[in-house]
Amino acid sequence: DPPIRVLTLDADRYEADPDLLRREMMRGAQDVSRVLIDVATGSAAMLRQAVRLSPVLLVPVVPDMASVVTLQALEGFCRNHEGQGGKPLQAWYVLNQFDPSSPLQLDVREVLRQQLGERLLPFAIHRSPAMSEALAEGMTVIDYAPNSPASEDIMGLVTWIRNTSVAYGAGYRGVRWSER
């Protein structure tokens, strides 16, 4: 796969310049096939700009009641913004830091499944000390503990992203440079 590039973006700058995110991505994401943008919950200006790029919106959800409550706000945002083809933006959700031994988290997962249906991905990123240890070492969990269950979870998510999103540039085959 193409190399991974991490863009560090200052959310405060996006309020004043409505096209800044697209320009920074074009400059910093050369030679990549997909771009992941981690948008903080409070970065409404950055989220509005990201939505205009026709993304696949993936929302990690911690399995607690606070996530269930805030879900309605995000769903409202999606209903009020257009995605590809003028349709309402659709978000996909993945449980993060999931502990299947917790009855409360199992209940929250079921509530989310009832509210979201197939938009709650059928797999979860399980709680794992390997994640925290990898971050502390400045590594990805795949590099730090490649055979861990956490790495398997992340690779499942990577596979989902590959199968769901269109690689950047794939829509340009057979199109003249002047028409891109």
**Residue 133 CA: distances (Å) to CA of 125, 129, 143:** 15, 6, 11
Taking the C-alpha atoms of residue 24 and residue 115, their distance in angstroms, rounded to an integer, is: 35
Taking the C-alpha atoms of residue 29 and residue 24, their distance in angstroms, rounded to an integer, is: 8
Instruction: Give the pLDDT of residue 88.
Output: 73
The label of the residue with tokens 């028409």 reads: 179
**Strand partners of residue 93:** 59, 120
Pairing of strands 57-61, 120-126: unpaired
Q: What angle do CA 146, 59, 99 make, to 5 degrees?
A: 55
Instruction: Give the pLDDT of residue 93.
Output: 93
Instruction: Give the pLDDT of residue 9.
Output: 67
Instruction: Give the pLDDT of residue 28.
Output: 67
Give the chain's residues under pLDDT 50: 168-180
Instruction: Give the pLDDT of residue 36.
Output: 72
Q: Where do the H-state alpha helices sit in the chain?
A: 20-28, 44-51, 65-79, 103-116, 129-136, 141-144, 149-164
pTM (2 d.p.): 0.76
